[in-house]
Amino acid sequence: MTSLGHAAPSDFVNPPKLSGARPGTSVLILGSGLAGMVAAYELQKVGYKVQILEYQNRAGGRNFSLRGGDTFEELGGAVQRVGFAQGNYFNPGPWRIPYHHQAVLHYCRTLGVELEPFVQVNHNAYVHSSTAFSGAPQRYRVVDADYSGYVSELLAKSVNQHALDNEISADEREHILQSLKSCGMLDASYAYKKSDLTSMRRGYEKPPGGGLDGPSVTSTPLSRGDIFSSGLWQAISVNSLLNHQTSMFQPVGGMDQIGKAFQKQLQNVINLRCKVTAIHQDDSGVSVTYTDDAHGSATRVAKADYCICTIPLSILSQLDIQVSGSMRAAIAAVPYAPAIKVGLEFNRRFWEEDEQIYGGISFTDLPITQISYPSTKYFSNGKAVLLGAYLWEDVQAFRFAGMTPAERIEASIASGEKIHRQYRKEYSSGVAVAWSRVPWAMGCSSIWSEQRRKDHYKNLCTMDNRIVLAGEHASYIGGWQEGSVLSSINAIEQLHKRASGVG
C-alpha cells in the first residue's frame, strides 16, 4: 500500500565515508534529481570524476517550483503559463520535509538552504464530508475534541460497568479512568458534555473576553452518533502518522531551493538537454548513448567506468539498458502514481483574514481531498497561493488527468467553494499538474506493493556489474525526497566498494 511507503522515517546520521577512492575513476550519472546530485556531490568530494546527463533544461528533477512567468508543457501538448504574482510559488512535487528525514535536512544545512516550519495539523482548519452535517465543514478542533471525548466516555462507561474486569486489574482500572477524564475532558461522572471544560478544547460559543465583556458562553458538542458516522475522524488518523507529525519544514521560497543549492555545487558537472537512449556496459566500462539537444541534437556516446542511473522506472523501462534479466524485470514491474496537484492563487488570504486559518490542511471527501494553506508569509497582504487539490492514485486522479488544465482548475474551485465560500470571488490564477502527463516522469512516484517488494526490490537495488540504480523508486520511502537521497547513498556505497576493490 502506498500509505505505508508514505510513513517512513530515516535513520540517516552522516553522509557516507568513502575512503580509499582511486582518483580519476569516472562515474556517469543519469538524471539530476536529488538522487543524481547527491551522488555527484559525494563522489566528486572524494576524487571521482563525475558527469551528469540531464534530460531537462534545468536540474532538480521532481524537486521544482513553478512561479509567475514559468511555462509548463505536458504530454498531449497543453501548455500552461503561470500567472502568479511576484514572489508566489507552487510546489508540484515534494512540498514538506518531516523532522525525521534527516538526510534531506542534512543537505539543506550543508548547502545553506534556509528552512521554515511547514504546518500540517491546524486545529482551526476544516474537516469536511459531503455526506455529514449537511455538508457543512467542521473545525478540526471540534471533531478532534468530540471524537476523543466520546471514545473516552464510552470506555469509562465500560470500565465503570466492570465490563473489562477480566482484562484489567483494579489498579489499572483507576489509572485508565484518571487518564480518560484528563484526555477526554470528562466531568466528575465521566460524561462528555457542554461545559467550560469541553469548550476549552473544542472552542466556545462566545469566547472569554475582557472587562464587562469577560464571561464566555460554552459550546454544545456534536452528537455522538454524528461524530462516529461522519468519518471525519479519518483526518485525525492521517495527521497522527510519523510523516505528518511536528516539526515539519519547507525551504523558504520554494522546494526548488534544494535542487538549486545542489546545482550551484555542480556547475561543471551537469549537462542539460541530454536525452539518454541506451545504457550499455562491458568489462571495461559503461557507454551511454544520448541525443544532445543543447548542441544541435547530435547523437553522442558518453563513456565512464561506472554508471548511476536515477531515471524514473516509468521512463527507464522504455529505454535500452544492458542489465541482468532480473533487474530488467524489476524495472518493468513498478507502476507510478498518477498524482494531481493544483496550485490556486487568490487575491487575498481569506482563510487567514476571515477564518483564522494560518497554514495547515483542511480535509474533504471531495475529489480534491485536501486544501493546504501556505505555511509562509502569514498575515501578509496581497495574493497568495494554496494547494487546491492533491489527488494520489484513485479513480478521481485518472479523471483529473484526462481533463485539460483549465478543467482541473475549475473542478478544484468547484470543490473548494464547498468549504470556502470566498473561493470563486477571490480566485486569481492557477496551475494544474497531472503527473502522469509530465514528459520526464510519467507519474509522480513509484508504487510498491508487498508482493512487488518481495519479487523485485533487491534485484532493482543490487549493483549490476557497473550499473547501479538510485531514486525514490529504489527505496522504502517512496514519494519522498528522503527516499531518493538514501537510495543514492546506498548506491554510491555499493559503487565505491566495487570501484575501490574493498568489497
**Binders of its own copies in range 321-380 (CB under 8 A):** 356, 358-360, 375, 378-379
Contact set for its own copies, span 434-493 (CB under 8 A): 457-458, 461-462, 470, 474-477, 482-491, 493
Decide whether 134 or 161 has the Cβ nearer to its own copies. Answer: 161
Sign of CA dihedral 327, 328, 330, 331: positive
Decide whether 21 or 168 has the Cβ nearer to its own copies. Answer: 168
Number of Cβ within a 10 Å radius of residue 481? 27
Verify cis geometry, omega within 30 degrees of 0, for the bond prior to 247. Answer: yes
What's the min distance (Å) between Cβ of 407 and its own copies? 33
Contact segment (CB under 8 A) with its own copies among 158-166, 282-290, 294-302, 399-407 equals 158-166
What's the min distance (Å) between Cβ of 451 and its own copies? 15
Decide whether 66 or 361 has the Cβ nearer to its own copies. Answer: 361
Decide whether 226 or 293 has the Cβ nearer to its own copies. Answer: 226
What's the min distance (Å) between Cβ of 289 and its own copies? 26
Please give the size of the binding site for its own copies, defined by CB under 8 A.
Answer: 110
H or E segment at 156?
helix 140-160
Contact segment (CB under 8 A) with its own copies among 53-61, 119-127, 253-261, 324-332 equals 119-127
Residues counted in the chain: 503
Query: Rounded CA gap, 475 and 503, in Å?
Result: 22
Contact set for its own copies, span 236-265 (CB under 8 A): 236-237, 240-243, 245-247, 249
Contact set for its own copies, span 127-156 (CB under 8 A): 141, 144-145, 147-148, 151-152, 154-155
What's the min distance (Å) between Cβ of 380 and its own copies? 9
What's the min distance (Å) between Cβ of 270 and its own copies? 22
**Is position 78 an interface residue for its own copies (rule: CB under 8 A)?**
no
**Is position 189 an interface residue for its own copies (rule: CB under 8 A)?**
no
Query: Rounded CA gap, 28 and 43, in Å?
Result: 11
What's the min distance (Å) between Cβ of 140 and its own copies? 9
* Residue 336 near residue 443, CB atoms below 8 Å: yes
Decide whether 224 or 275 has the Cβ nearer to its own copies. Answer: 224
Bridge pairing between strands 138-139 and 370-373: unpaired
Contact set for its own copies, span 192-211 (CB under 8 A): 196, 200-204, 206-211
Identity at 12, one-letter amino acid code: F
**Is position 8 an interface residue for its own copies (rule: CB under 8 A)?**
yes
Binding residue for its own copies, selected from 30, 43, 59, 180, defined by CB under 8 A: 180
Helix segments in 99-139, DSSP class H: 102-111
What's the min distance (Å) between Cβ of 277 and its own copies? 26
* Residue 351 near residue 373, CB atoms below 8 Å: yes
Place of cell 544492458: 322
Written as nine digits, the cell of 319 is 529505454
Burial annotation 87-109 (CB, 10 A radius, 16+ → b, else e): ebbbbbbbbbbbebbbbbbbbbe
Burial annotation 387-421 (CB, 10 A radius, 16+ → b, else e): bbbbbbbeebbeebbebebeebbebbbebbebbbe
Q: Residue 337: how many CA atoms within 13 Å on its side-chain side? A: 26
What's the min distance (Å) between Cβ of 442 and its own copies? 22
What's the min distance (Å) between Cβ of 173 and its own copies? 9
What SS3 state is found at 408? helix
Written as nine digits, the cell of 265 is 555545487
The DSSP call for residue 336 is B
**Is position 214 an interface residue for its own copies (rule: CB under 8 A)?**
yes
**Is position 283 an interface residue for its own copies (rule: CB under 8 A)?**
no
